[in-house]
Amino acid sequence: MIPTESRTSMLKVPGARLHYELRGSHPLLLVVAGGDGDARANAALADGLADRYTVLTYDRRGLSASTIDDPAQPITLATHAEDVHHLLAALTTEPARVYGSSIGALIALEHLARHPGQVRLLVAHEPPAVQVLPEAERAAADAAQREVEETFAAEGTFAALAKFLVVAGIDPADREEDVVLPRPSRERQANLEFFLTHDAPAVRRHRLDLDALRSAAGRVVPAVGVSSGPIMPYRCGVLLAAELGVPYAGFPGGHNGGVLRPKGFSARLREVLTSEKA
């Protein structure tokens, strides 16, 4: 996959400054990364779509080059959803296509519930929307997420990350041959710490407005990884589709397929985005 030149800029939003990158031309496609992913986390995926879309990636507030005015202010998924609103409002007057993964999918769903007029189609890949799970599964998911947070507090970032990979069912070996795993760095360490301190607890506390999403269900494609298996995020994707009364779509790889299998994933995403629904 040939890297595409990116154009970078900053946007002032309430309480923060957001770093964002644009690749390609034509209609806008926003990519909202999962985990501690920043604007570069989905660079290979964006390269695979830049001939058809203007692909927008960004650092969520608190990650990499996106700064926060007052670090003491709490951050919720509603905060992140409003950041998406401001990004789209600044860059297009047309409803945009959106792809979000994991926490990124949850943020994109929250944004759609709040600002449906800004979204043409949303592909929500394995959002950890635990509210759609049966009671026993919901309790188990909550306990597992709390264990990740407690491990972070007691043992540090990488011990917590190891537990998080198990909860999310992420297998780094399930990747395309030319995908190189990111090397440890101070920036990655800082991003992981921010994610585990602020964003992971925000995910656990968040509840979607399902009534608002049902009203916009014709613009939502819940998605799951074909190799994820019956893990919590996969189950959330399947059951969210049932809640909204829409089919779900299978994508290559597991929970982190967009990063680990960008060629196959971008091809599948292109199919979904150019379907009749889009």
Nearest 5 degrees, angle CA 244-CA 249-CA 251?
140
d(Cα 109, Cα 181) in Å, to the nearest integer? 28
Please say whether the beta carbons of 157 and 192 come within 8 A. Answer: yes
Q: What is the dihedral angle through the alpha carbons of 213, 276, 260, 187, rounded to the nearest 10 degrees?
A: -50
| Cβ contact 261:176 at 8 Å | yes
Output the pTM of the full model.
0.96
The two structure tokens encoding residue 187: 């920036």
pLDDT in tens, 224-253: 999 998 899 999 999 999 999 999 999 999
Give me the pLDDT at residue 278, please: 46
Residue with tokens 């150019």: 274
Neighbours of 5 (CB within 10 A): 9
114-173: per-residue pLDDT in tens? 999 999 999 999 999 999 999 999 999 999 999 999 999 999 999 999 999 999 989 999
- pLDDT of 102 > 90? The answer is yes
- Candidates 77, 78, 112, 130; CA nearest to 218 is 112
**Mean pLDDT computed over every residue of the chain:** 95
